[in-house]
Amino acid sequence: MTAPQDPAGAAADPAAPGARPAATRTSPSAPGTGSGARPVCAHPPPRSRTVFAAAHVVADPHAGTPDGPAAVDWDATLAFRHHLWAHGLGVAEAMDTAQRGAGLDWRAAAELIRRSAAEARAVGGLLACGAGTDQLPPHETSLDRIRGAYEEQLGLVEDAGARPVLMASRQLAAAATGPEDYRALYGHLLRQAARPVILHWLGPVFDPALAGYWGSGDPDAATETLLAIVAGHPGKVDGVKVSLLDPAREVALRRRLPRTVRCYTGDDFHYPELIAGDAHGASHALLGVFDPLAPLAAAAVRLLDGGDTAGFRAALDPTVALARHLFQEPTRHYKTGIVLLAWLAGHQPHFTMVGGLQSARSLPHLRRAHQLADRLGLFPDPELAAHRMRRLLAVHGAQDA
């Protein structure tokens, strides 16, 4: 799928990266980022929940090849992080939504972490960053080398001053022979971690290579292993991010976590009910769908600060239809719809992805995403969004519906 691009320069497109309302305050970027003036956090983070949006990366459309190293447009990528921080959301960096392991290699991810951490310090933005093992060959089987890869990435995240997220490892899923390998490896990492980390359970619906994580294909047995790791390292785990698309299992796990350990929902199908919670507790959030939903989601979560659960549900429930559409099978291609919406909303001047993954969804799928997002009022300039969608369809000879 050929990616439409806009003429260079903000003057050609009033919604190009860098265009901000006149009332938005700005602060200089961190030294060395080359990113210009940035808006500071206009809204404080919600008090009742800790909320991260897993952010996408903006590709450089003039560099890179589908099978080569990732080429990133750093200015547009960092500007989008400031958009999230300005609404009071935290940024979950270098995660699955950033095409980690699907176009974004470790070298680019490391640079992304360093740059985002510098920007976060400049504005006081909340930042968590993924640490994994993707610098290794895909079929690495040495547990020692897998541990060393985790240590390298964990060290980089900690040196940057960010909260680490220990991402699920494809290499570990392939190399581990049972729960003991997980307990030993994660125990080693937690003992040496300088600050509490977030553990990530990403289910096979997002990445088939992670089937049987925690040493068992039985989710109940896997849950017991995860809980044993958490219980065995008090004070070392900030939270557990659960991306299983199984709300009942998430709630059951949430109720068994220590009181000091957060459950971060990564369920992009059931997030309103999980964040709203019940009499026994609630989930916090680390969600890819909050990338396009940022303004609406942030405002909704702030309603919970005042105890307005009904208002929160009324605001967020209507977004689920869009989320389910974006994350429909094959779920791993949800990033294509998220980048489309960022382009339509004016956060970037083109619809191009690292690895050429703008072609991963069909035109009818993308057109439906535009329609659902428009009904939610997600576009600051609906006419610009409609114009861009028509151009995308025209490039491919498709009729506008």
pLDDT digits (tens, 9 = 90+) for 234-262: 999 999 999 999 999 999 999 999 999 99
What's the pLDDT tens digit per position in 139-153?
999 999 999 999 999
Please state whether the peptide bond connecting residue 330 to the residue before it is cis, i.e. omega within 30 degrees of 0.
yes
- SS3 of 224, please? helix
Torsion of CA 166, 172, 173, 175, to 10 degrees: -170
Q: How far is CA 2 from each of CA 62, 175, 368, 393, rounded to the nearest angstrom?
A: 13, 39, 19, 10
Output the pLDDT for position 68. Answer: 72
State how far the Cα of 131 lies from the Cα of 235, in Å rounded to an integer. 19
Output the pLDDT for position 14. Answer: 31
Tally of CB atoms within 10 A around 260: 11
What's the pLDDT tens digit per position in 329-352?
999 999 999 999 999 999 999 999
Output the pLDDT for position 396. Answer: 86
Q: How far is CA 391 from each of CA 8, 61, 107, 395, rounded to the nearest angstrom?
A: 16, 17, 34, 6
- pTM over 0.85, yes/no: yes
State how far the Cα of 394 lies from the Cα of 376, in Å rounded to an integer. 24
Output the pLDDT for position 66. Answer: 73
Cβ neighbours for 313, distance < 8 A, ≥ 6 positions apart: 272, 273, 276
Give exposure, 198-229, as e/b (b: 16+ Cβ within 10 Å): bbbbbbebbbebbebbbbbeebeebbbbbbbb
Report which of 99, 82, 20, 165 is spatially closest to residue 335, judged by C-alpha positions.
99
- Does residue 35 have a pLDDT over 50? no
What's the pLDDT tens digit per position in 277-325?
999 999 999 999 999 999 999 999 999 999 999 999 999 999 999 999 9
Q: What is the Cα Rg of the chain in Å? A: 20
- SS3 of 285, please? strand
Domains of the chain: 49-332 (3.20.20.70)
- Burial category of 125 from C-beta neighbours within 10 Å (exposed 0-12, middle 13-18, buried 19 and up): buried
At 199, which helix (H) or strand (E)?
strand 197-202
pLDDT tier at 32, thresholds 50, 70, 90: very low
